[in-house]
Chains A and B, each alone.
Chain A
Amino acid sequence: MSKETRQSITGLAMVLPSFAILLIVVIIPIIQSFIMSLSNGSGGYDLSRYMYLFTDKGMQSNIVFTLRVTAITCVAVILVSYTLAIYMRFNQGPIVNLIRKTYMIPLFIPGVIATYGLINLLGNHGWLARMLEVAGITLPRIIFDEKGIIIANLWFNIPFTTMLLSSALSGIPSSIIESAKDVGVGKLTLFTRFIFPLSYKTFLVALTFVFMGVIGSFTAPYLIGANSPQMLGVSMQQVFSVFQEREQAAAIAFFSFLLCSVLGAFYIRSMAEEEKAKI
């Protein structure tokens, strides 16, 4: 056996276990739910479940609402996290130390508890409302609204995204920044030409994580969201366990998988391009 064949066999053997796990816990269930979503309940197979998904008024607004919340959250999380990460990378002092020590705290608080905390804080008779009342300001409705879900999503996603981005930024050599500054590059150009391209890969990873996390989120949208429109995760739960329409729930699940896979494909393609460029 030549060295090359032996190497490729070893390579295959090492990939096999992870591929098997992927097959069992991801690929097969997706295929199963796809098949389930095609059954129309009377023995036949057709696209009626998907027809319902896109024609039912309630479902349509659920899908639009989910995409809207996800898009807003992604933009807001990336903006806040990038700003925080850059601030922490290029500044020093007590404020930076404080941020560095505290920004990860939300990661250690379980989702349900954080959600109840937000309800107590932001509810109509919550702490914030009571504090503002002293100043004569009436708090607009935040809970049971789109705003509530977005705030909760920010709380859950900012710490992790900031962590990812700061590690990427700390990988940028100071010498590059310094020399660019030396030749008189402005702050904006510094960001668009140097910092962003050098952290682009992590940026994409972070975006993918936030997108997938938000699109499938359940706890916060369930507890502080409106009754309609709902996030897809909440709607899926309702269709599955309250209405007991497993095929319809499978259709929603498969649809949200497709939504995620769009971003996933985009991510994988750009990674593959980069690998090719390296070779």
Chain B
Amino acid sequence: MRLKKPFVSLLTVVGLSMSLLAGCGNGSENTSSSTGGNAAASGDPVSFNFYFTGSQNVKDLWDSLEPMFEKQHPDIDVNLVYIPSGTGAEPTYDRIVAAKKAGKGSGGIDLYEDGITSVAQGTKDGIWAQLNEKDVPNLSKVNADTMKDVDNFAIPYRSSAVVLAYDSSKISNPPTTLDELLKWIKANPEQFAYNDPSTGGSGSSFVQTIVYKDLPEEDIHNSDPAIMEKWDSGFSTIKELGPYVYGKGIYPKKNQGTLDLLMNGEVSLIPAWSDMVLQQLNEGLLPDTIKMQQITPGFNGGPTYLMVNQESDKKEAINEFLNFVLSPEAQEVIVDKMNGFPGIELSNMSQDMQNKFDGVAEGFRTFNIGDLGTEINKRWQSDVAAQ
């Protein structure tokens, strides 16, 4: 009897793991068969995989958009794959490239959501499909210049703006222009903070806005490395700020890093994403005294893009989905859920929405400097952080 017991438990373990493994096998088989293109013929919906990353609010957004779309299009099944921010975005991109290089088609990733860096990188690597108004009619509602910036390789379906977030109990007149802001930082030492630009968009936006402060407007749509020579005055401005920012040169990590400092009352003014501030105000994470101010010319904001994998064999279904995402009704959900700006031009939205953005949208600029963004971060690390 004594001998038997471990044997029985071993058998149970083996049996259990076998059945688990078998379950996994079945699961993947099911998805692979339903993702097969010919499945549509038999009446099964065409299913494609949509990989997206971001904070919880991005997941909530797609969780509410997906059922809306599938109700209108019962023949298409969108399989959402959410990757929590910070862990999987890069491997996802690498998987797409790897699948292409290995000749394995789309690698199971049909649609992908990310920022401008991935758009530029993927355009260079030749993995994104070019989109046009014939396949996605609603593309006509998107600002033509923004589409030109990305050569139609991606859809800027929503945007967020970087604004100044400030503690109104300490500041009554927040700066309204970039020059005023620079003066304010020097007049109030250690009361301003921006995050390490390589770790989050709000700090990166602050740095880029100053670097391009005195440069002609067309330069912010130019990724020619020759422009790097014009950065000197901008970088010297940022360097001069060093002794006046929080901790005489401490740049917290991530967008949340500066928000934490604002929350604790250690600083009173920071650049921050408007949607993050609004969301945290709604959830009571930030005190009610925190207010936002847009400056002119605006901080560079960032659209988030949807990119179609060139290798995907379900482009028709994806185009249907993209067309839906750009429809005014879907865009309205995006604005509500994300506290952000719509991806389509405001004139296409309801009058209510247009009123909501009255006077705010003008302060918003889109930069497209491609790989130069990385160069700015590199130079910031050696010139500003290591000064």
Tell me, yes or no, whether B79 is within 8 Å of chain A by CB. no
Give chain B residues whose Cβ lies under 8 Å from the Cβ of A242. 198-199, 374, 377
For chain B, the count of residues having a C-beta within 8 Å of the partner chain is 20
Known: A125-B265, A144-B247, A229-B386. 11 other contacts (CB 8 A): A56-B382, A58-B381, A58-B382, A144-B252, A222-B253, A227-B196, A227-B381, A228-B385, A238-B198, A242-B198, A242-B374
Whether the pair B247, A141 counts as a contact (CB closer than 8 A) is: yes
A226 to B242, CA, bound (A): 13
Hey, which chain A residues are within 8 Å of B247, CB to CB? Answer: 141, 144
Q: How far in angstroms is the closest Cβ of chain B from A55?
A: 12
Is there an interface contact between A241 and B374, defined as CB atoms closer than 8 Å?
Answer: no
Give min CB distance, A206 to chain B, whole Å: 31
User: How long is the Cα–Cα vector from A223 to B249 in the complex, in angstroms?
Assistant: 16
B62 in the interface (beta carbon within 8 A): no
Whether B266 and A125, one on each chain, are in contact in the complex, defined by CB atoms closer than 8 angstroms, is yes
Let me know if B251 is at the binding interface, CB within 8 A: yes
Hey, what's the 0/1 contact readout for A37-67 against B, CB within 8 Å counting as 1? Answer: 0000000000000000000111001000000
Q: Among the interface residues B90, B250, B252, B381, which one has the most CB atoms of the partner chain A within 10 A?
A: B381
- Taking a contact as CB atoms under 8 Å apart, the answer to whether A124 and B264 are in contact is yes
Please give the distance in Å from B259's CB to the nearest CB on chain A: 13
A61 to B382, CA, bound (A): 11
Q: List 18 A-B contacts (CB under 8 A).
A: A56-B382, A57-B382, A58-B381, A58-B385, A58-B386, A61-B386, A123-B264, A125-B265, A222-B253, A226-B250, A227-B250, A228-B381, A228-B386, A238-B198, A241-B90, A242-B198, A242-B377, A243-B198
CA distance A244 to B378 in the complex (A): 10
Nearest CB in chain A: distance from B193 CB, A: 11
Per the bound structure, the CA–CA distance linking A238 and B199 in Å amounts to 9
B378 contacts which chain A residues (CB < 8 A)?
243
Q: Digit string of B129-162 for contact with A (CB within 8 Å is 1, else 0)? A: 0000000000000000000000000000000000
Q: CA A183 – CA B307 in complex, angstroms? A: 81
In chain B, positions 334-387 with a C-beta closer than 8 Å to chain A are 374, 377-378, 381-382, 385-386
In the complex, how many angstroms separate the beta carbon of B127 from the nearest chain A beta carbon?
16
- Nearest A residue to B121 by beta-carbon distance? A244
Q: How far is the CA of A124 from the CA of B265 in the complex (A)?
A: 10
Chain A, residues 225-255, CB within 8 Å of chain B (1/0): the string is 0111100000000100111100000000000
Task: Indicate with 1 or 0, residue by residue over B266-305, a CB within 8 angstroms of chain A CB atoms.
Answer: 1000000000000000000000000000000000000000
Contact with A along B177-201 (1 / 0, CB 8 A): 0000000000000000000101100
Closest to A126 in B: B264
Question: B90: which A residues are within 8 A, CB to CB?
Answer: 241
